[in-house]
C-alpha cells in the first residue's frame, strides 16, 4: 500500500452508516469516496449539501471504481453475505457491521473468500474498541487479574422489540464479542446453554439468560432483556488475583478493581491430615478506579481497519472473531429451542 489515504466506500446510510461516514471522513488514513444506499436521497442528506463524496444507489457502480480499495458495510444482517461477497470478489477489503452474517455458514463463506484473495475482512465489534474493554483485555492477557473464574454480564433496558430477531441475537452479540476479545490465548467458550421467555407474546424471546462454560472450567453468565424499565450495563470479571467491576453507565468510575477475594491453598501445600479440608482464606485489599481516557470507540476501530489493510495482518476483530460469535449465537438459539440444553461448541471453529 502507498502512503496515500485508502479510498473507501460506505454501503448503507441508515442507523449506523452515518457514524461510519463521520469517522472515516475524520481519519487521515482514509478518503471517503462513495456513500451507497438504495435510498439516494437519504444518503445525500447524511452527507449534506456541500460534500464532494459521491452518492449512488448502485453497488456495482461503486465497486467498479478503481479508487475504492475498501468497503464498510452497514446494511441489514440478511444482506451482509451478497454485499460483502461482491466487494471481496471485486478485490476490496471489507469491514462488516455485527453480526458478520445471518448464519455461521454464511460467515464462513466470507472468511474463506477473503483468505483466498488475501484481503482484509474485519467485523465491527464496536464495544471491543472502547477504552474500558481495551483495558480489560490488557489486564486479562497480562495476568493482572489472574485466571478468570467467572464473568457476570447484564445488558438490560426497555428496548425496541425487533421484528426479525430475538433478544439474544439483538443484544448478546455485544457481550459475546467482548468475551471473545478479552479472553487470553488458549481460553475459549466450550459450551453454551440459553433460557428465554416471551412474557408479552411477541413471538420471540424478549428476556434471555446465557450460560457459557469455558474450557478452563470457568463460567460466564449473560443476561439480556428488552423489558426492563431501568437500563443496566454492568459486567463483573472475577479473577484469581483481583476482581474487576465495569459499570458503563457511570462515567466517573467505569472501572473498579478490587483486591479482594478468596485464596485457596493448593493440596500440595497441605499436610496429609489437611488434604481433605482445603484451606480457604479471604483477602480484603484496596479498591482502585483506574483513570481512562475517553475516546470514541469507532475512531479506534477505524484506525485498526487501516492498520490491518496496510500491514496485511488480521484485525483484532477479524472475520474469524465474527465467526466465533456467530457459532455461539446459533448454539444459543438451538439451546433455547430445546429448553435450555447445554450445547457443545466446535473446538475447531472456536480456536
The CATH number assigned to the domain holding 71 equals 3.40.50.720
Q: Are residues 76 and 223 in the same domain?
A: no
**Closest listed residue to residue 181, CA positions, set 231, 141, 211, 142:** 141
Listing DSSP states for 20-33 in one string gives HHHHHHH-TTEEEE
Q: Are residues 284 and 203 in the same domain?
A: yes
CB distance 40 to 54 below 8 Å: no
Sheet holding 30-36, edge to edge: 54-56, 30-36, 6-11, 70-73, 93-97, 121-124
In order along its 351 residues, the chain shows pLDDT tens digits of 567 999 999 999 999 999 999 999 999 999 999 999 999 999 999 998 888 999 999 999 999 999 999 999 999 989 999 999 999 999 999 999 999 999 999 999 999 999 999 999 999 999 999 999 999 999 999 999 999 999 999 999 998 888 888 999 999 999 999 999 999 999 999 999 999 999 999 999 999 999 999 999 999 999 999 999 999 999 999 999 999 999 999 988 999 999 866 666 565 665 656 655 666 555 567 788 888 888 899 999 999 999 999 999 999 999 999 999 999 999 999 999 999 999 999 875 555
> Does residue 71 lie within any of the structural domains?
yes
Q: Are residues 183 and 260 in the same domain?
A: yes
> How many angstroms separate the CA atoms of 39 and 290, rounded?
45
**Closest listed residue to residue 237, CA positions, set 135, 315, 327:** 135
The model's pTM is 0.90
User: The domain containing residue 105 runs over which residues?
Assistant: 6-119
CB distance 345 to 147 below 8 Å: no
> Does residue 274 lie within any of the structural domains?
yes
Prior bond to 99 cis, omega within 30? yes
Q: Dig out the grid coordinates for 8 from the structure.
A: 473507501
Q: Are residues 148 and 243 in the same domain?
A: yes
Pairing of strands 148-158, 121-124: unpaired
Residues 6+ apart with CB under 8 A from 224: 155, 156, 167, 168, 170, 171, 172, 175, 207, 208, 210
Q: Are residues 341 and 237 in the same domain?
A: yes
Amino acid at each position: 500500500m502507498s502512503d496515500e489515504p485508502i479510498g473507501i466506500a460506505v454501503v448503507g446510510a441508515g442507523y449506523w452508516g452515518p457514524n461510519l461516514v463521520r469517522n472515516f471522513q475524520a481519519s487521515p488514513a482514509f478518503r471517503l469516496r462513495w456513500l451507497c444506499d438504495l435510498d439516494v436521497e437519504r444518503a445525500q442528506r447524511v452527507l449534506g449539501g456541500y460534500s464532494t463524496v459521491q452518492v449512488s444507489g448502485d453497488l456495482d457502480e461503486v465497486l467498479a471504481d478503481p479508487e475504492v480499495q475498501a468497503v464498510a458495510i452497514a446494511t441489514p444482517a440478511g444482506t451482509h453475505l451478497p454485499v460483502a461477497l461482491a466487494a471481496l470478489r471485486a478485490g476490496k477489503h471489507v469491514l462488516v457491521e455485527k453480526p458478520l452474517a445471518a448464519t455461521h455458514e454464511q460467515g464462513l463463506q466470507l472468511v474463506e473468500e477473503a483468505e483466498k484473495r488475501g484481503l482484509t475482512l474485519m467485523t465491527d465489534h464496536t464495544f471491543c474498541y472502547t477504552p474500558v474493554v481495551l483495558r480489560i483485555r490488557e489486564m486479562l492477557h497480562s495476568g493482572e487479574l489472574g485466571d478468570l473464574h467467572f464473568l457476570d454480564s447484564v445488558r438490560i433496558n426497555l428496548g425496541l422489540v425487533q421484528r426479525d430477531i430475538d433478544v439474544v441475537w439483538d443484544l448478546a452479540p455485544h457481550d459475546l464479542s467482548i468475551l471473545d476479545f478479552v479472553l487470553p490465548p488458549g481460553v475459549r467458550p466450550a459450551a453454551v446453554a440459553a433460557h428465554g421467555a416471551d412474557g408479552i407474546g411477541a413471538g420471540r424471546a424478549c428476556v434471555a439468560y446465557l450460560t457459557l462454560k469455558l474450557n478452563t472450567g470457568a463460567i460466564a453468565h449473560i443476561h439480556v432483556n428488552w423489558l426492563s424499565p431501568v437500563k443496566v450495563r454492568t459486567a463483573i470479571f472475577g479473577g484469581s488475583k483481583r476482581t474487576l467491576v465495569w459499570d458503563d453507565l457511570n462515567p466517573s468510575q467505569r472501572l473498579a478493581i478490587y483486591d479482594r477475594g478468596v485464596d485457596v491453598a493448593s493440596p500440595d501445600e497441605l499436610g496429609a491430615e489437611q488434604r481433605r479440608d482445603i484451606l480457604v482464606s479471604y483477602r480484603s485489599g484496596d479498591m482502585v478506579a483506574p483513570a481512562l481516557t475517553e475516546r470514541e470507540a469507532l475512531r479506534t476501530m477505524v484506525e485498526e481497519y487501516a492498520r490491518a489493510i496496510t500491514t496485511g495482518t488480521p484485525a483484532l476483530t477479524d472475520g474469524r472473531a465474527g465467526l466465533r460469535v456467530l457459532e455461539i449465537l446459533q448454539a444459543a438459539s438451538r439451546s433455547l429451542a430445546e429448553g435450555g440444553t447445554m450445547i457443545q461448541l466446535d473446538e475447531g471453529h472456536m480456536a
